[in-house]
Amino acid sequence: MNMNTAVDHGLSVDGNVTGDAAALACKRIGELAEEFGVTLRTLRFYEDKGLLNPIRDGNMRLYTHRDQVRLKLVLMGRKVGFSLREVKQMMDLYEPDGSNVRQLKVTLEKSEKQMARLQSQRVAIDEAIGELSDAIGAVRSMLEHRAAGSATGQ
């Protein structure tokens, strides 16, 4: 949902749902799972870990716009290699009516450390690719040499 559509339907810019838009903005677990390409079990797990806090209507879970934004942040954090614990620490520092300076500083610090880890891993992966490429070349050369030897009757 783009922000213009969200505002038209009663969602505030900060993601809070207002008025009749609450029902429109909420999604059931299956809808959210499909939209984000995750399993129902994953969503329940994130709820158990305190990353998501859906509204309960009997046995039905309703995920608000806030939950949807949090899920997007969780998935992005996981994609770049943060643990769920780190993602939760960063999200828990959010203050709806505050400047969030502490959250931003912690997020920047953790992001810079993760960037350094990823760059280090990239170097190691590049080295491994080079070594594997050399090994593949050597094996191909041996096979070609043996194939040429058997073709000449040796």
Give the CATH number of the domain where residue 41 resides. 1.10.1660.10
Total number of domains constituting the chain: 2
The CA distance from 74 to 66, in Å, is 12
pLDDT single digits (tens) 115-138: 999 999 999 999 999 999 999 999
Residues 6+ apart with CB under 8 A from 12: 18
Residues 64 and 105 in one domain: no
Provide the domain limits for residue 122: 93-154
Residues 6+ apart with CB under 8 A from 36: 71, 72, 75
Domain end residue (candidates: 24, 49, 82): 82
Residue 151 tokens read as 């073709």
Residues 2 and 75 in one domain: yes
Task: Provide the residue type at 118 as one letter.
Answer: L
Residues 37 and 69 in one domain: yes
Dihedral of alpha carbons 32, 34, 37, 39, sign: positive
Residues 66 and 128 in one domain: no
pTM score, whole prediction: 0.70
pLDDT single digits (tens) 97-117: 888 999 999 999 999 999 999
